[in-house]
Amino acid sequence: LLRAVIFDVDGTLADTEAEGHRVAFNEAFKTWGLPVYWDVAEYGRWLGVPGGKERIAAYWRAHPELPPISESEIRALHEFKTRLYHEMVDQGAILLRPGIVPLLHSLSEHGIRVAIATTTARPNVEHLLEATIGPAGTHPFDVIVAGDEVPQKKPAPDVYWEALRQLDLTPAEAVAVEDSEPGYQAAVGATLATVVVTNAYSEGRPFPLACRILDNFMNARVLDQPDHEPISQ
């Protein structure tokens, strides 16, 4: 029986990347006098590296001509980027994807719990939920697990295993909702039935093990079928 739906955040609950994280990274690079600018297409290529600090490190490794950057500088740069991202989110620059709020209501009407398994840091999720749903305590998510709280970020399945542990459920009792290749790999790796809801970055990519591929949440609703296809268009 389906007992919970575990959502990814970036790209799934909200389109946070192109006009959110990307803009904050670029602003941070500029403020620090670093000669790096990620346009939408370039950023899309680096989204294959999940995790902001990991993404910066991978980019620097691929560009030896850049001034060297230490691990502690990456941490500080990323903290600065995170503050800029929070300001953007707090100002209402990022909205939930259309259809998410009715879907959350529909799940709760069916007694299905909702959780979050994300690569990004917990405060990013809290700022986003506060700006879009309401102050702490008003959002419906029972369990939130963030990337820095598990040994390995996506595409490793750790964040999904930890969400299941905190929900006290088996993989057969939950469904994951993801938007990207690393997220899909993490969810499938945790043996979860996985619905992929694509966005501009993942549209048209193959997700052979997904139980459903949608391109938006507009007509997503709960079917609560035992065959693991609870969300349908």
Catalytic site includes residue 10: yes
What binding mask, one character per residue, do residues 77-116 give for ligand XBP by CB under 6 A, x or -? ----------------------------------------
Helix, strand, coil shares of the chain as percentages rounded to 5?
40, 15, 45
> Token pair 């309401």 is at which residue?
134
Per CB under 5 A, the list member of 15, 158, 179, 181 interacting with Mg ion is 179
17 contacts ligand XBP (rule: CB under 6 A): yes
Catalytic site includes residue 39: no
Helical spans, DSSP H, in the chain:
22-31, 40-46, 52-62, 71-90, 100-109, 122-132, 158-167, 181-189
Per CB under 6 A, the list member of 7, 38, 118, 222 interacting with ligand XBP is 118
Residue 23 near which of ligand XBP, Mg ion, none (CB within 5-8 Å, type-dependent): none
Instruction: Indicate left, alpha or beta for 174 from its phi (over 0: left) and psi (-120 to 50: alpha).
Output: beta
Give the distance between the most distant pair of CA atoms in the chain. 55
- Tell me which stretch binds Mg ion (CB under 5 A): 53-61, 131-139, 181-189, 205-213: 181-189
198 contacts Mg ion (rule: CB under 5 A): no
Provide the binding-site residues for ligand XBP, judged by CB under 6 A: 8-11, 17, 21, 50-52, 118-121, 124, 154, 180, 182-183
